[in-house]
Amino acid sequence: MVAILVVAGVAALGWAYSGQYNVAADVPHWGLTSRALALVRDRSVATGAAGLTVPDLADRDLIAQGAEHYSEMCTGCHLAPGVTTSGLRQGLYPAPPDFSAGTSLRPAEAFWVIKHGIKMSAMPAWGSTHDDDAIWAIVAFLQQLPTLDANEYSALTAEPDAAYDDHEADEHGHEHNASSHDELTNPAAVDPGETTMEQPSAVPHVHPHANDHEHS
């Protein structure tokens, strides 16, 4: 018995060493390998997500923040309404799912994957650069993504709070000034107490009408 195991182990090592296994991303796995990997991945994600407490994902501020993160960090691989292809995405194996078509993952599972990434795939662990609040914001946005058309998507990502702002913005025109827009459009400026207009000059989306708010 032991001898058989040793022989099998040596044979497996020899095969690995021979270089016969093709790791090329442009040659797909066998069907059985794909199913085995998918099973391991899905069970790992479900186990990792168990026990996570999901915040209120209908929160508009959260969705707006998530939209901004998504458009900056995810569309190159996962697409969006109106973003139907990318050079990066086309060569990836496994292929990243297209989230404009929705996801079968529960919110806690999506959170876990976004935070920790997936080994031996292109999916990064965003938790090494983003805190849990930012990741829940992305999860909140993912719930809305399949309901958006290209126009709604670009409105939400160009000026994240616009699509969800109603007449309140006008009623409180003076308080609702440029700084609140900047906090949403500039991921670096998330301090709610921050009221200065002096944002880093590199921020491309300080809108002309931000000044209208100030002077109206």
Q: Which of 80, 77, 65 is nearest to 188 (CA)?
A: 65
Contacting ligand HEC (CB under 6 A), which of 83, 114, 137, 178? Answer: 114
The first and second tokens of residue 101, run together, are 């078509």
Write the burial class of residue 84 (CB in 10 Å: 0-12 exposed, 13-18 middle, 19+ buried). Answer: exposed
CB of 93 to ligand HEC, least distance (A): 8
Q: Return d(Cα 200, Cα 195) in angstroms, integer.
A: 13
Nearest-angstrom CA–CA distance, 215 and 18: 73
On the 0-12 / 13-18 / 19+ scale of CB atoms within 10 A, 151 is exposed
Segment near ligand HEC (CB under 6 A); pick from 13-21, 113-121, 173-181, 195-203: 113-121
Question: Taking CB under 6 A as the criterion, which residues in 119-148 touch ligand HEC?
Answer: 121-124, 126, 138
On whether the CB atoms of residues 155 and 129 are closer than 8 A, the answer is no
Determine the interface stretch with ligand HEC among 28-36, 94-102, 158-166, 197-205 (rule: CB under 6 A).
94-102
Site string for ligand HEC, 19-58 (x = CB under 6 A): ----------------------x-----------------
Smaller CB distance to ligand HEC: residue 118 or 162? 118
What is the 8-class DSSP label of residue 53?
P
Is 83 a residue that touches ligand HEC (CB under 6 A)? no
Among 113, 145, 148, 178, binds ligand HEC (CB under 6 A): 113
Q: How far apart are CA 151 and CA 82, in angstroms?
A: 8
Choosing from 94, 127, 173, 187, the residue that interacts with ligand HEC (CB under 6 A) is 94
Q: How many residues bind ligand HEC (CB under 6 A)?
A: 23
Rounded to a whole number of angstroms, the CA Rg of the chain reads 23
User: Please, what is the minimum distance in Å from the beta carbon of residue 55 to ligand HEC?
Assistant: 16
Residues that bind ligand HEC (CB under 6 A): 41, 69, 73-74, 76-78, 92, 94, 96-97, 103, 105, 110, 113-114, 118, 121-124, 126, 138
